[in-house]
Amino acid sequence: MNSEKKQFILIDDDPTFNFIHQKIVGLSSCAGDTLVFSSAAEALNYLEAEHENADSECIILLDINMPVINGFEFLQKYEKLPVVNKRQINIYMLSSSLNPDDRAKSKQFAVVSGFLNKPLSATDVCKLCAGAA
């Protein structure tokens, strides 16, 4: 397992899930900074402006059902970002949706590393850090 701390980016419009997930991620020994965005647009702006020179691994936990720009629309826009060092970023869809179509649709995006159900658990974070999720 890589001992380098990983940045986590949580993208979810639900403040309760953001609070809980931020606490769970913060308990992990592999987690470095954790950034929280309540909208996909804010996260895209950050990634375009701030992450282009990132040299550490980043794990994005992306909610599907959000207003204005949902998780799938985020992925479409993310794939078009020219400046993001995508080799350092792993995106995981994180949803409370039980719709199997959501899981299938997430597999259509090459940038998606996996699909996790809410709420995130400490075990999930350990697997993400180990690259086994």
The fold of 6-130 is: Rossmann fold (3.40.50)
Predicted confidence (pLDDT) per residue in 91-109, tens digit = 999 988 888 898 999 999 9
Question: pTM for the complete prediction?
Answer: 0.89
Predicted confidence (pLDDT) per residue in 24-64, tens digit = 999 888 888 899 999 999 999 988 887 555 667 889 999 99
Question: Does residue 1 surpass a pLDDT of 50?
Answer: no
In the numeric block, which tokens belong to residue 40?
């996909």
Question: Does residue 14 surpass a pLDDT of 90?
Answer: yes
Domains of the chain: which residue ranges? 6-130
- Residues 113, 3: Cα–Cα separation, whole Å: 20
